[in-house]
Structure 1
Amino acid sequence: MNRNLPHPFGKLARALLLGAVLACQHAAQAAITEADFLDEMPVVLSVSRLSQPLNEAPAAVTVIDRDMIRTSGFRDIPDLLRLVPGFSVAYTRDNTWAIGYHGMADAFSRRFQVLVDGRSIYGSAYGAVNWGELALSIDDIERIEVVRGPNAATFGANAFLAVINIISKDPSQTPGAFVSVQVGEQGMSGLTARYGGGNDDLRYRLTLSAQTRDRFETDAFEGVNAVPVKLYEETQTYFLNGRADYRVSATDEFSAQFGLTVGDWQAGHSGNPEEPGGQDVSAQFLQLKYRRAYNADDEWMVQAYFSRNNLDSPNQPELCFDTVESEVVVCPDGLPSPPRYVATGQRLEAGIDQLQTRLNLEFQLNRRLAPDWRMSLGAEVRHEAVESQRYFDTQDKLDGTLGRAYVNLEWRARPELLVQGGAMLEHHYFTGTDVSPRAALNYTLAEGHTLRLNVSQAYRSPTFFEQKGNQNYYTTSGTPVLQVIAPSDPLRPERILSREIGYVGQYPALHMQLDAKLFHDTIYDYIKNRGTPGQFENRDDFTVRGGDLQLNWQPVPEMRLSAQYARAFIEADPSIDKDLAQSAPRNTFSLLARYDLGQGWTASAGVYRSGRMKWLSEGDITQAFTRWDARLARRWIWQGHEVEAAVVGQNLGEDYQEFRDTNIFSRRVYGSLSLGW
């Protein structure tokens, strides 16, 4: 082994070397068949839009399946990403989540493409992923495919660090009625009711859900003097989701989905009375898809969807600008309140309105060109619009249209060598035209053991807020007195050049799968807010390097274990962003184990370890922590109905900080009961 290899690569390099040695050893064990292995190699769709076994995909992928979702005990979708190597997950505030992959993590998760059944939920206004507004029950998820690395060649701008593709259950998988109830500590309760039905040609499902959460301890302490504050984070969210699939003919199928969400979310804390005290949320979407499939390799699809997300803060306190202290404060009582002006002794508008809409049309064609050639190509056009007088200082609608076209090719050059390449051509309303290419080689060392080389480039376009954000306070005569956010000069998109070497191995004798990768990424034109007034600008380049390791093991039929480990380093000059180098925890680790105890009983445990890190934007430094979760459940048949009862303990160890030093996640327990018939 090369002793000059950079130290963060050491452990992963040894894992790759071990995999290659074991591959040669196990190649001779012809008596062991795939049936002896814990599972077949998972098939994924999210990397090149071609159906591929995990070891033939051109990038690293983590699959979170139904069994992992259930045994984890998680009831919020972002929590499931703790099962992906290299991911950092934290609840922030106002029913929002922060998610990072190898650092650069902030409150908006701006560098991910998140899809639900092919529908993008990436917010164009601020880049936020609106997890709390998803009209999707965790009980309706079939699996989640996470592409660990840039994937703009397939999904365009904002598939910058990773793609999170959430795939819901087909209506044929959800026949009959289903009810699930959860009740627990820390204000946690949930009710989900679903009904699925139909016939051979028409299948449908309808899901109704109500969820209540109160994430952290209400009483907290802030600052070096331990000033007591109260956090208000209780949320109530209700949604209705429906899907229907109609088989038009032996080759054609039409699918329709819709979702409606409303929520009453508390927000803010007593230490900052000028912040909104609550939010009224509403979101809607409609998605239509027509698909013609001649066989597994020859099909085409056209899809259209519309989404609308609205956020109101009707209880926003009335604010004044104190010209003596040069700060915004809560207005004293008994003062006049002109509509949207602020000055000493004058009031600012109450309420924050944010409205985002998206209309998207997409076409995709998959075709086998020859016995050794496959292709996926497509095109997409999207119109996005944003309205927010508070954050853009205008009553006008801000909007833009982007267009993209892509192609991905797969060539079986030799039985052991798979060559793949692709590119996305995209024109964005802010940054113009860019091309995001990718090239990959998958080489089979021996049966079940594959090395992967991957080089790709991706872009992240600036959000409306980064490019056109404009927040001002005025006197009653219209004179500006304070500018908090100023529009930016034309921004260039962030660009990432990613290089990785990976290994995927199957070990039938050990009933184990191993997935490891080393990566070296360079990020160019990093977009950063430069102070007061806030204005975004492009900064210099920096590098991120390290590796991921993922292991699935089933030593006996009754036990399944999934382990993930990641090590990452960010090398960035402090002038780019003084907190950037600390935004990646040096080490992250997770372990989920499940054991079948017999007679319907199952026990599972999860361990989640994160190193010390600094959350960007409004986050704080959070110390290293280890979280322990456990679940005990039993399934049985009662009067012909399938019943499952479970008790889940979360964070059974010490309390830890999440995103902010005031956000204390404490020990909590909840019970769950589900009934299907």
Structure 2
Amino acid sequence: MRTGNAVNSRSNGTLGTLARALCMGGALACAPLARADVTESEFLDDIPVVLSVSRLSQPVNEAPAAVTVIDQDMIRASGFRDIPDLLRLVPGFSVAYTRDNTWAAGYHGLGDAYSRRFQVLVDGRSIYSPHYGSVNWTDLPLSIDDIERIEVVRGPDAALYGANAFAAVINIITKTAAQVGGEFVSLQYGEQGMRGATVRHGGGDGPLRYRLTASAQQRDRFERDITTKTGAGVGDNGQYFEASKTYFLNGRWDWQLSADSDAMAQFGVSQGDWKAGKQTLDPRSALEPRTQDSGALYLQVAHHKIESARREWRLQAYHAQNRFDANAAADLTSLGFGLVNVDQYLLQTRSNVELQVNEQWRSDLRGVWGGELRRETVGSPQNYNSGRTLSGELARVFGNVEWRPHDRLLLQGGTMLEHHYFTGTDLSPRIAANFTVVPGHVIRLGVSRAYRSPTFFEQDGNQVFVLQSGAIADVVTVPSDGLKPERVLSREIGYVGHWRAARLEMDARLFMDKIDDFIGQDKYNFVNDGALRPNEFKYANIGSARSHGGEIQLRWRPVHAVDVSAHYARVFLDAHFGGAGIHNVINFNKDVPVSAPRNTWGLLASYSPGLGWQASLGLWRSDAMKWLSEGDITQAYNRMDLRLARRWTWEGREVEAAVVGQSLLGSYQEFRDTNIFSRRVYGSLSLAW
């Protein structure tokens, strides 16, 4: 698996140019401080270099944890136009569109509507929500055409990234301004309301380069009319709206200040006009507004300095804001209430500054250390039963050391000390050993401890619906009694093999994870005959869960025209919830063990016969599973996608036309049994000059 143009390109001819592209690309590690005995040829052969696992650039077989690299070739061949869909290419991941224009993702189970156990980064900027812990993928001001590559660390990585790097780290690295000079236009049109237009301009010369990207995207996710609801009954039959229009603009400047210093600045703004909610025979469906408005913005700056051949540092700061608004007056007169105000306004912000220092102390010893300060705020009158803004500050320091005591043995250890505004101080360590059995074949042993701090809503959420008269119609959640962070102890045995003659790469992993102090919703009886529902929820540390299993991924390129990637995962889960003060966890004990499909596999194959033609096939299989919290049991499914494309040059412009068919084996369920993803086709056209 190659890591995209910056690593694959052989035309630049020097390791320094390659390293600069990697660092300016927003990666958290910069290549100049690779260990002293790494030669340029090692960076340019078939073993990919990864940047995210240890914050040190290293061949994938020397990384202290399993990692999947999704490069531009894979992104193009997949035909996916929504970034979360790309996680279908990673072993052990389950991906689904939920509702209200949000996505869910789970790794080895425990997935819910918020996917709050991942750390997701874009060029080093954390994008998970401090309110729910979710990732606002739909209003992320980022075009899939601007992605250089995605590195997915499979397993906890809190030793380097802190809370939320609990199950995995998803690091999205975008293209530098120097990589996308000139003009680019991309258009998509197809069934289910599929519309897309992206325009990019890259300019500048000499040391200062820039790019600007504007995009408009429209989707109609599922079949709207549902008459075969398999859950509670015909009261849930009706229309389910999940259509979105999202517009965004982003820009990036890369400035080479000197031979050993560079700076980067980015901004992005987005605006969403979304249709969501449902209209059923159940009058309470009116509590879900049909029209939603969203907006996001961010500003990020970074400075990178190479002080010597043995030391460099990177300082970055960013501010991000997400706003969501949906208002309605639900008429519940038939239930004996009247008009209920629905105000889903939510504003959340994050301000962050981070320093990272990479050092080479000896030829066999190098490391990275740094720190981070962050402030997060959340305001939502309906979700917190208050007009005030909640805020919190956290501080982190981290370090990681890589030592090679023998040619065949690589030892790595790291830890993060973190003080969180809800849970106080935690220490997240990791140690790993990589042993080269024979050249190209490495065994990895690793153990790590990670924490996930509660979100604002888990800690202080107090969701209420209020009548227009001012009386309370319903209490959905009440604040917790004080939560401890979730803890995971993760152990793994990994193998990375590379058969150069066959052009085959393989990564296999056996894992065993134990999660304690699991945070879940505990149900209480709410003795109030006037309420819409006879219960309320409170988040609590409800018990422990264990998962174990194995996964494997392959990348095979026997000839230049053929590229095949495949993966398989088998996962076992069990749960032990309950105890003193816990009232009702029956559903969790039943649902958590089936929150991971027992078996999943996927295959993406492309063939390029020549004359600019390319055909690609995607196959995915998932066993039945239960999405936690607001999700349903979704049945096992098989999905097949096909893409046929051709590239050519026309009047000095590089042109690509493609037709993509998705879910060609038939419809399947995503997240809820009312979310029916049906067969669909779209076409695309892109021009670059």
TM, length-normalised to structure 2: 0.88
Letter in 2 for 1:255: M
Moved more, 447-456 or 480-489: 480-489
Letter in 2 for 1:537: A
TM-aligned CA deviation for residue 318 of structure 1? 3.0
Determine the C-alpha separation between the residues in 2 that align with 1:522 and 1:79: 28
Aligned to 1:302: 315
Q: Is the 8 A contact 2:562 2:605 kept in 1?
A: yes
2:546 to 538, 543, 559: 543
Q: Is the 8 A contact 2:444 2:494 kept in 1?
A: yes
Aligned to 1:186: 192
Determine the C-alpha separation between the residues in 2 that align with 1:394 and 1:261: 27
TM-aligned CA deviation for residue 345 of structure 1? 4.6
Determine the C-alpha separation between the residues in 2 that align with 1:377 and 1:389: 40
1:497 to 486, 489, 498: 489
Aligned to 1:335: none
How is 1:637-656 mapped onto 2 (pairs within 5 angstroms)? 637-656=649-668
Letter in 1 for 2:549: G
Letter in 1 for 2:276: A
Q: Is the 8 A contact 1:157 1:458 kept in 2?
A: yes
Letter in 2 for 1:72: S
Equivalenced residues, count: 623
Determine the C-alpha separation between the residues in 1 that align with 2:139 and 2:358: 32
1:278 to 286, 291, 302: 291
2:274 to 265, 272, 280: 265
Aligned to 1:522: 514
Q: Is the 8 A contact 2:339 2:467 kept in 1?
A: no
1:108 to 107, 114, 124: 114
TM-aligned CA deviation for residue 317 of structure 1? 3.0
TM-aligned CA deviation for residue 296 of structure 1? 7.1
Q: Is the 8 A contact 2:341 2:465 kept in 1?
A: no
TM-aligned CA deviation for residue 146 of structure 1? 0.1
Letter in 1 for 2:381: Q
Q: Does 1:607 align with 2:619?
A: yes
Distance 1:668 1:37, change over 3 A: farther
Moved more, 269-278 or 380-389: 269-278
Moved more, 65-74 or 552-561: 552-561
Q: Is the 8 A contact 1:38 1:512 kept in 2?
A: no
Determine the C-alpha separation between the residues in 2 that align with 1:479 and 1:74: 47
Letter in 2 for 1:209: S
Q: Is the 8 A contact 1:37 1:508 kept in 2?
A: no
Determine the C-alpha separation between the residues in 1 that align with 2:482 and 2:598: 34
Aligned to 1:141: 147
Letter in 2 for 1:192: T
Q: Is the 8 A contact 2:667 2:679 kept in 1?
A: yes
Distance 1:599 1:470, change over 3 A: same
1:187-235: CA deviation from partner (whole Å, max 9, x where unpaired):
0010000000111200110000000000111111224655641111110
Determine the C-alpha separation between the residues in 2 that align with 1:88 and 1:409: 33
Distance 1:473 1:96, change over 3 A: closer
Determine the C-alpha separation between the residues in 2 that align with 1:476 and 1:599: 66
Determine the C-alpha separation between the residues in 1 that align with 2:181 and 2:470: 61
Residue identity (%)? 58
TM-aligned CA deviation for residue 297 of structure 1? 5.6
How is 1:16-165 mapped onto 2 (pairs within 5 angstroms)? 40-165=46-171
Determine the C-alpha separation between the residues in 1 that align with 2:42 and 2:49: 18
TM, length-normalised to structure 1: 0.90
TM-aligned CA deviation for residue 276 of structure 1? 1.4
Q: Is the 8 A contact 2:355 2:372 kept in 1?
A: yes
Determine the C-alpha separation between the residues in 2 that align with 1:295 and 1:642: 41
Q: Is the 8 A contact 2:399 2:415 kept in 1?
A: yes
Letter in 1 for 2:72: R
SS at match of 2:277: coil
Letter in 1 for 2:667: D
Q: Does 1:237 align with 2:246?
A: yes
Q: Is the 8 A contact 1:37 1:507 kept in 2?
A: no
Q: Is the 8 A contact 1:425 1:435 kept in 2?
A: yes
Aligned to 1:20: none
1:585-616: CA deviation from partner (whole Å, max 9, x where unpaired):
00010000010111110100000111110000
Aligned to 1:581: 593
Distance 1:351 1:476, change over 3 A: closer
TM-aligned CA deviation for residue 298 of structure 1? 2.7
Q: Is the 8 A contact 1:38 1:511 kept in 2?
A: no
SS at match of 2:160: helix
Aligned to 1:15: none
Distance 1:474 1:172, change over 3 A: closer
Aligned to 1:290: 303
Determine the C-alpha separation between the residues in 2 that align with 1:37 and 1:354: 46
Q: Does 1:203 align with 2:225?
A: no
Q: Does 1:400 align with 2:408?
A: no
Determine the C-alpha separation between the residues in 2 that align with 1:534 and 1:201: 56
Q: Does 1:448 align with 2:440?
A: yes
SS at match of 2:576: coil
1:213 to 219, 232, 238: 219
List runs of 5+ in structure 1 lacking aligned partners. Answer: 1-33, 320-328, 333-342
SS at match of 2:145: helix
SS at match of 1:153: helix
Letter in 1 for 2:204: G
TM-aligned CA deviation for residue 482 of structure 1? 3.6
Letter in 2 for 1:114: V
Determine the C-alpha separation between the residues in 2 that align with 1:505 and 1:228: 51
1:564 to 544, 563, 567: 567
How is 1:480-491 mapped onto 2 (pairs within 5 angstroms)? 480=472, 482-491=474-483
SS at match of 2:114: coil
Letter in 1 for 2:226: A
Aligned to 1:339: none
TM-aligned CA deviation for residue 38 of structure 1? 11
Q: Does 1:663 align with 2:659?
A: no
Determine the C-alpha separation between the residues in 2 that align with 1:475 and 1:270: 20
Determine the C-alpha separation between the residues in 2 that align with 1:252 and 1:105: 42
1:80-102: CA deviation from partner (whole Å, max 9, x where unpaired):
00000000000011111010000
1:513 to 505, 508, 531: 505
CA-atom RMSD in angstroms: 1.8
How is 1:347-358 mapped onto 2 (pairs within 5 angstroms)? 347-358=339-350
1:463-489: CA deviation from partner (whole Å, max 9, x where unpaired):
000000012345778665642211001
Distance 1:346 1:273, change over 3 A: closer
